């Protein structure tokens, strides 16, 4: 567990400095600093509404930052936009699955694989390989909207993987799955990391987070309140008071 190293010497792949988002008068994310190292699994936890997904949206370019800066492999990204971030190598999934219901499962994944394969036959082959990997090959010809929730979550991961990212942002891909499914998807995430991919994961299933994450960042009310190894985080009084304690009582 928390296996592979990840000391501070590892190359920082993705870094956010003072990332801030306001919606009118609401401060959703407040000057959060975040650094993801190579082949690291960085957990992002916090209560509902803490700003985790908003932070994801800014890192992935889906939503503009109000303030702050993003660096990818040390280079500042001037104007993060979703399609540019993906082209750079930052893939993401959505908390609420977003299938293209007018396409089959295979075609859904092809939309991702086209990024690196212009020819349809190559994109199709690459997409099918990813589907095999996430265990959805048998559903390849189903309509995207005809999948069950666990299958939809796998398809979300498959689509992001099909873009061949360097950094993968996983937004609650474990929540709602049964224990067998959880085990399968955790194995998949570990395999992906073992290949050199860096991962940030948002999740409320603490057992999975503790098992998967090399480091954890805790966000509450838009601000980072703690950062450290999982065993440090579970001991952190502020984290217990604002999040983990609440979970235990829930």
Partner 1 sequence: MAGISRSRFITGGIILILAIVLPAILDLGFMMTALVQVVLYMYWASAWNIMGGYAGLFSLGNGLYIGIGAYVMGILYVSFGVSPWIGMIIGGLAAGVLSVIIGYPTFRIKGLYYSLATFALLQAIKLIFTTRKTIFGLPMGGSDGFKMIRIDAPAQMQFANNLWYYYLALALLVIVLLVSWGISKSKIGYYFRAINVNGDAASSLGVNVIKLKMQAQFLSAFFTAIGGGVFTMLLRFIDPNSVFGVDMSVNIMIMVVVGGSGTLWGPVIGAGLLRLANQYFVTMFGAKLVGIPTVFFGVTLMVVVFFIPGGLMGLRQKLKDKFGKKAPLRKEAVPHEQHNSRF
The verdict on 241 binding partner 1 (CB under 8 A) reads no
Of 39, 53, 60, 198, the residue at the interface with partner 1 (CB under 8 A) is: 60
Which stretches within the chain are classed as H helix? 52-59, 82-88, 105-113, 120-134, 149-162, 179-194, 206-212, 230-233, 237-239, 245-249
List the beta strands (DSSP E) in 51-139.
67-72, 75-76, 90-92
Q: Please identify, among the stretches 17-25, 56-64, 188-196, 207-215, the one whose residues bind partner 1 according to the rule CB under 8 A.
A: 56-64
* Size, binding site for partner 1 by CB under 8 A: 38
| Contact call for residue 94 and partner 1 (CB under 8 A) | yes
| Residue with Cβ nearer partner 1 (154 or 224) | 154
Least CB distance from residue 175 to partner 1, whole Å?
19
Query: The tokens 């073992």 sit on which residue?
Result: 194
Asked if residue 67 binds partner 1 (CB under 8 A), the reply is no
Q: Which residues make beta-bridge pairs with 72?
A: 14, 75
The two beta strands, 198-202 and 215-220, are: unpaired
170, β-bridge pairs: 201
Residue 80 binds partner 1 (CB under 8 A): no
**Does 211 engage in binding with partner 1 (CB under 8 A)?**
no
Residues that bind partner 1 (CB under 8 A): 60-62, 81-83, 86-87, 91-92, 94, 98-104, 107-108, 110-112, 114-115, 118, 120, 123, 141-146, 159-160, 162-163
């Amino acid at each position: 567990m928390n296996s592979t190293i990840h000391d501070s010497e590892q190359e920082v792949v993705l870094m956010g400095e003072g990332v801030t988002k306001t919606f009118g008068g609401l401060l959703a994310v407040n000057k959060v600093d975040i650094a993801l190292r190579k082949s690291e699994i960085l957990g992002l936890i916090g209560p509902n509404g803490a700003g985790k997904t908003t932070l994801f949206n800014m890192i992935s370019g889906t939503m503009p930052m109000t303030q702050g800066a993003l660096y990818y492999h040390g280079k500042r990204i001037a104007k993060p936009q979703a399609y540019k971030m993906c082209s750079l190598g930052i893939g993401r999934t959505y908390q609420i699955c977003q299938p293209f219901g007018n396409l089959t499962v295979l075609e859904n994944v092809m939309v991702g694989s086209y990024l690196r394969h212009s020819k349809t036959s190559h994109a199709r082959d690459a997409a099918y390989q990813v589907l095999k990997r996430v265990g959805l090959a048998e559903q390849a010809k189903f309509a995207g909207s005809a999948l069950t929730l666990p299958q939809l979550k796998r398809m979300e991961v498959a689509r992001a993987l099909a873009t061949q990212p360097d950094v993968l942002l996983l937004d609650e891909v474990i929540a709602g799955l049964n224990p067998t499914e959880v085990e399968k998807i955790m194995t998949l995430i570990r395999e992906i990391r073992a290949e050199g991919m860096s991962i940030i994961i948002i999740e409320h299933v603490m057992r999975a987070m503790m098992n998967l994450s090399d480091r954890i960042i805790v966000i509450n009310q838009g601000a980072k309140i703690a950062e450290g190894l999982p065993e440090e985080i579970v001991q952190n009084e502020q984290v217990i008071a604002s999040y983990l304690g609440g979970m235990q009582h829930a």
